[in-house]
Amino acid sequence: MGLHRHIFFVFDEAKATEAACHILQRLNGRRDYFSLIKLLYLAERQSLIENRWPIFGDAYASLDHGPIVSTVYNIIKDDRDWLARKPRIWPAYIERIGQWDVLLKQPVVLQKLSPNDVAILDAVVAEHGRKDWRELRRFTHSLPEYQDPQGSSIPILPDEILSIAGASEEEIKDIRLDADAFRHMFAAAS
């Protein structure tokens, strides 16, 4: 991978919420959160590979049960540190029910997702939406970027996914520069 800095995207809670709502709408409005997180990871991964840019810019990590979208995981788990830092759109649309499930509280009008984003989400649901959490766990454990963290967590860098998918070092560097510029623009607007 070389000694360059890594790619970090800006997390977009509105797009993440729309993406999760879209998946839940396709799955009758309710699903275990573990499966939802896996489906969102697969969509983020596919968008990164196909478009060289994620749908909503989450951070990724390998946990014992496979890769996850970290910020969405923290939102679902009601991480108090995250709650203190950010306004939340998610709870208006999705609520956790019991220990394992999430429920779509109301349909979302897609305003932030592009047609390409929706196509990727639909493709992921078509291919993996009927799998239960055990099947999704097995499948995501087979992805080349997954590393067994043995009870901890290991970051999965977008650079790794892009490299595995055949992106050149120059292409990865260009994506990093674009992500840096977007992050600076976002920070200036905040």
Q: What is the pLDDT of residues 41-89, one digit of tens each?
A: 999 999 999 999 999 999 999 999 999 999 999 888 875 565 556 657 8
3-class SS of residue 32: strand
Q: Which tokens sit at 22?
A: 């879209």
For residue 30, which phi and psi values (nearest 5 degrees)? -150, 140
Q: Which residues contact 143 (CB under 8 A, 6 or more apart)?
A: 45, 66, 67
- Local confidence band at 2 (pLDDT 50, 70, 90 cut-offs): very low
Q: Which tokens sit at 10?
A: 């800006």
pTM comes to 0.92
Please name which of 4, 3, 7 lies closest in space to residue 183, comparing C-alpha atoms: 7
